[in-house]
A and B are shown apart, each in its own frame.
Chain A
Amino acid sequence: MKKTTPKQDLLRGVWRENPVLVQALGLCPTLAVTNTVANSLAMGLATFFVLMGSSFLVSSFRRWVPREVRISTYILIIATFVTVADMTLAAVVPDIHKALGAFIALIVVNCIILGRQEAFASRNPVGRSLLDAAGTGAGFVISLLLMGGIREVLGQGTFLGVPLLGPHYEPWVIMILPPGGFLTLGVILLAISAIERRRASRAERAAAGTMRRAA
């Protein structure tokens, strides 16, 4: 693996390798619980916590975990932290806990978390693993908030429950129903791919220009 600086460890997950928008991992929670901003935030923070906790433990114990049972070990560690997050949310914000339902427990099978343990935390020292987890977690929170923001504003005309678009706004109810999740993420991904393509073609043209000048 290439050596990276701590700053790269942290920032990589936020945009360039954003777990949801670029790598298309963890789609189930991204689509299922983003019908309001509050739900997205709770889900994002719970996942962030689990990711940080398990990266810390996995990275600390990386020398003692035999290769053959590593995946089961990671899953057990993750499940422990998810249980903690589940109980905490139930105690602190019971309403949101109810709205998120089974999806808090389903953080266990979120491929983003297992993916970071296998690809990063199991091979790197604790400090860098924590930075990596923070970056990836932040990327996940940002994607969820983006989804939640678009869906709540269009679907209910509110943001975090505060009316935003005035009383004459006719809400697009479809946006807070399941199809709205698929459509919103689809449109976001299309926009990103269009931006990336434009950037790539501009870089190509710039490169061609330099070559012409050099010739």
Chain B
Amino acid sequence: MGELAWIFLSAAVINNFTLALFLGLCPFMGVSGKLDTSLRMGAANTFVLTITSLCVWALNTYVLPHAPYLQLISFIVVIASLVQIVEMAIRKLSPTLFREMGIFLPLITTNCAILGLAIFQTNRGYGFLEGIVFALGAGVGLTLALVLMASIREMSELADVPEAARGLGLVLIIAGSLSMAFMGFAGLLSAS
């Protein structure tokens, strides 16, 4: 049990996918303008991460031992079709949610956090349960980073920034400061 809690905590804050490993920066820069969109984006990502983790576990157990060179190709195909299926399912089950997600759903395919999770999970040899906990932790971490960033950006909209600094440069510097703050969590390692 302690092992699982540790995997969760590590993925969520210490090795935060966005702020420490630089995965999933596209949505982090692109949709972190508003708080509620970023929350929804985080939730969608967490969902896809969890299902991906399940599929990757199945691939690793039943398919890839026979054809290791297909790893990357099979992962990306599975992720792309998975996102498509999730998209169709959400459209059927809850049209309101589908409309709210808009373009973000299909874009999850090219989010490197998803493929990154698949590769990390394989390299670290996580089993079924560990994989799911890892995916949940990564999802929580992504959501946390997105929500923090969105809250800061909503406030910086009102601040008086030099005109040249408006836009991505400022966002990156804010992200740098956030990332520095998250490095503090590395201290948890010795405490446990």
Contact = CB atoms under 8 A, between A and B. Distances in A.
Contact of B29 (A27, A101, A109): A27
Nearest to B106: A71
Residues of A in contact with B, size category: 35 or more
A76 interface: yes
A82 B111 CA distance: 17
Contact of A76 (B21, B77, B165): B77
A28 B112 contact: yes
A65 interface: no
B176 A193 contact: no
A102 B116 contact: yes
B23 interface: yes
A28 B192 CA distance: 31
A183 B72 contact: no
Given A32-B21, A102-B116, A106-B119, A179 B180 contact: yes
A193 B165 CA distance: 8
Interface of A: 24, 27-28, 31-32, 72, 75-76, 79-80, 82-83, 86-87, 101-102, 105-106, 108-111, 114, 174, 177-183, 185-187, 189-190, 193-194, 197
B157 interface: no
B171 to A, nearest CB: 8
Nearest to A195: B164
Interface residues of B, number: 40
A102 B119 contact: yes
22 contacts: A24-B29, A27-B22, A27-B25, A28-B23, A28-B24, A75-B76, A79-B72, A82-B72, A83-B69, A106-B23, A106-B112, A106-B119, A108-B76, A177-B183, A178-B19, A179-B180, A186-B175, A187-B169, A187-B173, A189-B167, A193-B167, A193-B169
B176 A186 contact: yes
Contacts of B5: none
Nearest to A78: B76
A197 B162 CA distance: 12
A105 B80 CA distance: 16
Interface of B: 19-26, 29, 69, 71-73, 76-77, 80, 110-112, 115-116, 119-120, 123, 163-165, 167-173, 175-177, 179-180, 183
Interface centre among B21, B120, B172, B175 (most CB of A within 10 A): B172
A106 B24 CA distance: 11
Contact of B26 (A27, A72, A194): A27
Given A108-B72, A182-B172, 15 more contacts: A24-B29, A27-B29, A28-B25, A28-B112, A79-B72, A82-B72, A102-B119, A106-B112, A109-B76, A179-B177, A187-B173, A190-B165, A193-B164, A193-B167, A193-B169
Nearest to A189: B169
Given A27-B29, A197-B164, A106 B116 contact: yes
Given A102-B116, A177-B183, A193-B169, A28 B76 contact: no
Contacts of B119: 102, 105-106
